[in-house]
C-alpha cells in the first residue's frame, strides 16, 4: 500500500504530464469556475486537494488538473496536495481511477489511456518517458537542479 501525506507544494514542482491527463483538454468553463471560486488562497484551500505521485524525483499530477490550473492562473505559488509515494505508471492508473469516480463527466475523445499506456514507461525505458516535458514543466534538468 502506498504511503500518503498532505503537503504544501510549490506549483512549479508539479509535473502536468500529458500521459496523466484523462481528458483531451482542460474544460474552459470548469477552469473558469474554479478560478472565480479561488479568489483568495483561503478559498482555494476549501477545494479538495489535488493528488500527486512522488517517485523520489518528480511530483506527477494524477488528479486535480482544473484545480491546479486555476491556482496557477491566479498566481498562487503553492497549494496543499495529497502526496502518494509511487511511480509514474501508478500515477497514470490512479488518474483514470480517480476521474471515474468524480469530476466532469467523460466526453467523446476523453480517456486517452490506451494511448498513454502504449507510450508508458511500462513498455519502454523508464528514463525515456516525457523527459523534455517534465524538464520544461518543472524548470529542472534532473532532480533538485533547477534551470535559471
Chain-centre distance of CA 44, in angstroms? 16
| Contact partners, residue 99, CB within 8 Å, separation at least 6 | 22, 23, 63, 106
Closest by Cα among 83, 87, 74, 94 to 22: 94
Q: Using a cut of 0.95, tell me whether the model's pTM lies above it.
A: no
The set of cell numbers assigned to 122 is 511500462
Number of domains in the chain: 1
Structural domain including 71 reads: 4-142
Rg (CA), the chain: 15
Look at residue 148 and tell me if it is in a domain: no
Give the pLDDT score at 18: 77
For position 44, which CATH number holds?
3.90.1530.10
Look at residue 47 and tell me if it is in a domain: yes
C-alpha distance from residue 134 to each of 42, 95, 118 (Å) = 29, 17, 19
10-residue mean pLDDT profile of the chain (148 residues): values are 84 88 76 95 96 96 92 97 95 81 56 47 38 40 42
Amino acid at each position: 500500500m502506498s504511503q500518503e501525506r498532505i503537503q504544501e507544494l510549490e506549483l512549479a514542482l508539479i509535473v502536468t504530464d500529458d500521459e496523466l491527463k484523462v481528458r483531451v483538454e482542460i474544460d474552459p468553463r470548469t477552469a473558469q469556475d474554479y478560478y472565480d471560486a479561488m479568489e483568495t488562497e483561503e478559498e482555494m484551500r476549501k477545494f479538495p486537494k489535488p493528488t500527486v505521485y512522488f517517485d523520489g524525483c518528480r511530483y506527477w499530477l494524477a488528479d486535480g488538473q482544473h484545480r491546479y490550473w486555476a491556482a496557477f492562473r491566479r498566481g498562487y505559488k503553492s497549494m496543499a496536495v495529497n502526496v502518494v509515494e509511487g511511480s509514474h505508471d501508478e500515477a497514470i492508473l490512479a488518474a483514470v481511477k480517480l476521474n471515474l469516480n468524480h469530476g466532469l463527466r467523460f466526453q467523446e475523445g476523453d480517456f486517452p489511456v490506451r494511448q498513454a499506456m502504449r507510450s508508458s514507461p511500462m513498455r519502454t525505458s523508464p528514463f525515456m518517458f516525457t523527459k523534455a516535458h517534465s524538464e520544461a514543466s518543472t524548470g529542472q534538468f534532473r532532480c533538485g537542479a533547477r534551470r535559471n
